[in-house]
C-alpha cells in the first residue's frame, strides 16, 4: 500500500471529532509523495486549504489533481527548505493565495546514506543529513513561527524517526542524530511558543510502506521477520502517520504540546 491510494472519508463521528481544520491553511513540506502526500490529502478531506511542497513538479501535480478531484482546496509551492530565501518566497506566495499558515507540517527530509561505521561517514554525507533534516526543519519553523506568534495561534508538527528513538549498530548515524535534534528542537520550541498559543509536536514513524522505501520488494522471509518484530504484526502505512498528524493538528489536541508520538506498531515503547 502506498500514499498514492486516496484516503477514504471517515464516518460522521470522525468528521465531528476532528474539528478545527476547516478553512485553515496547512503547509506540508515534502508532500509530493509518501507520508507528506498522505497527510496533505487527509487534511484536505477535513476541510483545510492545503499547500503542497516539493521539488518534483510532476509528482506535485499528481497529488494536487487528486485533492482537487476529491473537492479539496490546494495549491503547490516549490523551493529548497534548506534556504531561508526560498522559504520566504514560499511564504509570500502562500499568503498571497491562501493567507497565513495556521498548520505547519515540517515533513521534508530523508537520507541517501547507507549504514556503516562512524569513521567511514564522509563530512559531505554528514552535513547532507544534518542540513536536510535538522537545519531544514529549523529554517522552516523560523520562517513561519513569527506569524503564528503574532496571531496567537498555530500548530507545528515535525517529523522524527524510530532511528532517533533507539540505538542500533546499523542505524544511519547522521540521520539519527539529525532526527534526535528535531525532537529536542520540537520540545524546546513547545516551551517557548506555548505562551503565544502555538502548539508544537513531533511524530516518529517506523517501518512505513511508501513508494520510496519499497519494503514490499523485500523477500517474503525478510518481510515476515520484520513484521514479527512489531506487536501489531504488520508494516505501517503513510495513512497511519497521516491520522496521527490529523489528531495533532486538530482542536482535539488543543491540550497537547511538546509530545513525540511514536507511530511504529509497538516496535518501540518509550516510557
Quickly list H helices, the chain: 12-17, 34-45, 57-69, 84-97, 123-129, 136-151, 173-193, 220-228, 238-249
Count how many residues are written for the chain.
Answer: 271
Cα(106)–Cα(28) distance, integer angstroms = 6
Look up 196 and say whether it is catalytic.
no
**Alpha carbons 245 and 228: distance in angstroms, whole number:** 26
Q: How is residue 189 written as a grid cell?
A: 520550541
Beta strand ranges found along 35-183 (DSSP E):
49-53, 73-77, 103-106, 154-159
Out of 29, 175, 189, 250, pick the active-site residue: 175
Quote the cell numbers at residue 200.
Answer: 508544537
Catalytic residues: 175
Amino acid at each position: 500500500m502506498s500514499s498514492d491510494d486516496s484516503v477514504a472519508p471517515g464516518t460522521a463521528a470522525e468528521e465531528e471529532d476532528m474539528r478545527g481544520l476547516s478553512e485553515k491553511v496547512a503547509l506540508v513540506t515534502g508532500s509530493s509523495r509518501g507520508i507528506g502526500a498522505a497527510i496533505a490529502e487527509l487534511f484536505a478531506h477535513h476541510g483545510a486549504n492545503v499547500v503542497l511542497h516539493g521539488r518534483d513538479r510532476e509528482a506535485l501535480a499528481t497529488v494536487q489533481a487528486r485533492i482537487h478531484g476529491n473537492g479539496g482546496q490546494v495549491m503547490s509551492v516549490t523551493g529548497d527548505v534548506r534556504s531561508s530565501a526560498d522559504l520566504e518566497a514560499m511564504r509570500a506566495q502562500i499568503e498571497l493565495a491562501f493567507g497565513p499558515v495556521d498548520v505547519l507540517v515540517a515533513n521534508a527530509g530523508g537520507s541517501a546514506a547507507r549504514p556503516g561505521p562512524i569513521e567511514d561517514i564522509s563530512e559531505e554525507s554528514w552535513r547532507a543529513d544534518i542540513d536536510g533534516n535538522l537545519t531544514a526543519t529549523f529554517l522552516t519553523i523560523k520562517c513561519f513561527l513569527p506569524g503564528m506568534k503574532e496571531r496567537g495561534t498555530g500548530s507545528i508538527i515535525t517529523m522524527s524517526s524510530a532511528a532517533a528513538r533507539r540505538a542500533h549498530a546499523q542505524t544511519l548515524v547522521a540521520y539519527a542524530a539529525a532526527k534526535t535534534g528535531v525532537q529536542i528542537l520540537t520540545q524546546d520550541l513547545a516551551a517557548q511558543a506555548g505562551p503565544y498559543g502555538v502548539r508544537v509536536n513531533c511524530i516518529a514513524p517506523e517501518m512505513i510502506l511508501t513508494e520510496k522505501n519499497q519494503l514490499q520488494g523485500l523477500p517474503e522471509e525478510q518481510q515476515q521477520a520484520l513484521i514479527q518484530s512489531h506487536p501489531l504484526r504488520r508494516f505501517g502505512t503513510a495513512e497511519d502517520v497521516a491520522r496521527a498528524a490529523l489528531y495533532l493538528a486538530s482542536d482535539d489536541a488543543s491540550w497537547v504540546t511538546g509530545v513525540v508520538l511514536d507511530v511504529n506498531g509497538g516496535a518501540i515503547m518509550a516510557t
